[in-house]
Amino acid sequence: MWMMLLRTAAVAKMREVWFIVNGVHIRYGLREHTLISGLNCCNYPLGYKEFCKKKFVKRYFKNGETIRLEDVKAKLLAMGAHRDRLRMMVLFFLGSVICAQTKVGPGANDGSVICAQTKVGPGANDVLDFFQRAVDDLGYCKTFPWGRYSFDYMVKEISHTMDHFGGLVKEKTLWPLPGFCIPLQLLAFEAITELGKRFRQPVEEVDPECPRMCQSTLKKTEMKGFPLASVNQELDRIKPQDIDSILPTRNDEEKALLTVIHEENDDDDCRDLAVDSWIKRINEGYTVVFEDMYQKDIAARQVSEGSVNAEQTVLEGIAGGKEAAEQKKMLEDVMKKKKSLGNQFERVMSIVEKFEERLVSVESFVKEAQKGSEKK
């Protein structure tokens, strides 16, 4: 997920996030969130923000008492077999999974992000106010589009992350990202199939109607996750045409799932001509690739992995022997000619710039002359 955040594109859209990997744009929108999570992502019911009055919470938490996730868990464990235990369990689930808060762990030596971990202690936030009201009606909780709610929360947190870093997320940074992160964690593996084959494995005898996050799991490793360097190394082998900008459905089961639990936003999103043009070309069957970004992505990964300048490597590698000396002299001659050509090119560009300046003055003179003739 951190690999994706490092490549977040600046767009005007408020309800979707775009990442650029190997020069290809990858969308994280409500459709992607739905396909991966399998949660209800239909439109919100009318008046949902004012629904319920927190009667249940007021029965178990006094005025002014904290309602942090650890407090909810303590109440839950103390209840035993009680008729209100299910409501307390739902409140704990919403606060720990649907919009999980975070805690910051020890320093990291690689680009990393902390997500979906319970923050405890005095600095922890209270469970969201909407969750406290929703558990008054378990029937309402059962039908509410928690997928859409968790997606909106994630988009807001990603926006907050980008603002915090001034629009450019950096490596070797530890940053907490709260929310239901699983769809975003799996997005790269789903959009870049070869990456998924390298790091994930299918679950045996899985029901085809299960959402994607249940159909595969990370391959076992001695570490808690995969180092960013390993992911970057695999990306070097992946061509732009092997990346899906928008996740396609795999089978009829997924198509049927989308018709049931997914709806387009009932409000128009902000316009972005660039994004609209990408989507138009993608829908026409084209792969939108920015070759310069692809090359920069590869170069940046090589630098981060400690690669040295290729020309210097060649010079150092041919240090001994007569043949090596000849090759070294030949390469040095090429470098001199390259430098000479570069100087000549700069002189040509200087001449062109002066010519353009003269051309501007000539055009200005012609326009003035035309105006004078029109007055006459």
DSSP codes joined into one string, 81-146? S-TTHHHHHHHHHIIIIIT------S--SSSEEEES----STTPPBPPHHHHHHTT-HHHHHHS-H
Q: Which two tokens stand for residue 180?
A: 């239901």
Residue 240 DSSP label = G
Is pTM beyond 0.75? Reply is no
- Is residue 79 over pLDDT 50? yes
Output the average pLDDT for the chain: 80
pLDDT category at 303 given cuts 50, 70, 90 is: low
**pLDDT at res. 161:** 86
What pLDDT sits at residue 294? 85
Residue 248 to residue 35: CA distance in whole angstroms:
9
Q: Please check whether residue 61 is in contact with residue 67, taking contact to mean a CB–CB distance below 8 angstroms.
A: yes
313 in helix, strand or coil? helix
Counting residues of the chain whose pLDDT is more than 90, the rounded percentage is 39
* Calpha distance 215→245 (Å, rounded): 21
**Count of CB atoms within 10 A of residue 182's CB?**
21
**Given pLDDT bands bounded at 50, 70 and 90, which one contains residue 136?**
very high
Rounded (5°) CA angle 72-76-82: 140
Which parts of the chain fold into alpha helices (H)? 2-5, 30-37, 55-60, 69-79, 85-93, 129-134, 138-143, 146-164, 182-191, 193-199, 212-215, 228-235, 252-261, 273-283, 291-304, 310-317, 322-375
pLDDT at 360 (0 to 100): 55
Q: Which amino acid is at 191?
A: A
Q: Give the integer Cα–Cα distance in Å for 17 and 42.
A: 19
133 touches 52 (CB < 8 A): yes
CB atoms < 10 A from the CB of 113, how many?
Answer: 22
- For 257-285, write each residue's pLDDT tens digit: 899 999 877 667 888 888 989 999 898 88
Sign of the C-alpha dihedral computed for residues 116, 122, 128 and 131 taken in this order: positive
The CA distance from 304 to 92, in Å, is 41
Please state the domain extents for the chain: 1-43+153-168+181-307, 45-144, 323-375
pLDDT band of residue 306 (cuts 50, 70, 90) is low
Percent of the chain with pLDDT over 70: 72
The answer, yes or no, to whether residue 58 has pLDDT greater than 90, is: yes
The pLDDT score that the predictor gives to residue 312 is 41
